[in-house]
DNA sequence: GCTATGACAAGGA
DNA sequence: CTCCTTGCCATAG
């Protein structure tokens, strides 16, 4: 298993209940800011190993292209976490967006230099 | 090593 | 907010 997949799984598994993250955020956490689409690819493979339903696209919309019932299942799972999902499968990112903290990033074995770059660039 | 693919992001309409 | 286009990058073949 590549380091990329391992990091993605670890990052997603650390997302707290009641919060959601975008694929782009996860990509940032694993050190590859523009590999958001690969994150989704890894989650698709992982299935039940991680809380994949806490990951949505940047607009806060559930974007599983698999089957419709999967998207609906994600909606139910999010609601079980206490996250409100609109009838159009939208989540209010302003409220539920999970903002990673420094100690959170430490768990992902990121370089201090990279963490500084994130804080400097995104004000984390 | 090169091309095609895709649970995406960002920006414009 | 939704839809469309362009750009990114790890994998698969």
Q: Are A96 and A62 in contact (CB under 8 A)?
A: no
A33: nt with nearest C1' to CA = C8
Q: How many domains is chain A built from?
A: 1
Domain of A79 in residue numbering reads as: 3-122
Nearest residue by alpha-carbon distance to C1' of C1: A59
What tokens does A121 get?
Answer: 């660039």
Residues contacting A91, CB < 8 A, separation 6+: A20, A56, A60, A61, A62, A78, A83, A84, A85
* A53 DSSP assignment: G
Supply the pLDDT for residue A124: 65
Angstrom distance, A10 CA to C6 C1': 31
Summarize pLDDT for A6-57 with one digit per residue, the tens.
Answer: 999 999 999 999 999 999 999 999 989 899 999 999 998 887 789 999 999 9
Bases of chain C with protein Cβ within 7 A: 1-2, 7-11
% of chain A exceeding 70 in pLDDT: 96
Residues paired with residue A97 on neighbouring β-strands, in sequence order: A20
CATH number for the domain including A68? 1.10.10.10
Q: Look at A95 and A110; give whichever has higher pLDDT.
A: A95
Supply the pLDDT for residue A67: 64
Residues paired with residue A85 on neighbouring β-strands, in sequence order: A91
């Amino acid at each position: 298993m590549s380091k990329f997949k391992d990091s993605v799984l670890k990052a997603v598994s650390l997302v707290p209940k009641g919060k959601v993250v975008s694929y782009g955020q996860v990509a940032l956490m694993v050190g590859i800011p523009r590999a958001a689409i690969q994150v989704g690819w890894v989650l698709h493979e992982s299935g039940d190993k991680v809380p994949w339903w806490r990951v949505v696209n940047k607009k806060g919309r559930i974007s599983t292209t698999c089957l419709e019932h999967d998207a609906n299942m994600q909606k139910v799972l999010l609601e079980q976490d206490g996250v409100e999902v609109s009838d159009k499968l939208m989540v209010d990112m302003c409220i539920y967006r999970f903002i990673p903290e420094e100690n959170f990033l430490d768990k992902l074995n990121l370089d201090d230099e990279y963490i500084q770059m994130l804080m400097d660039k995104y004000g984390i």
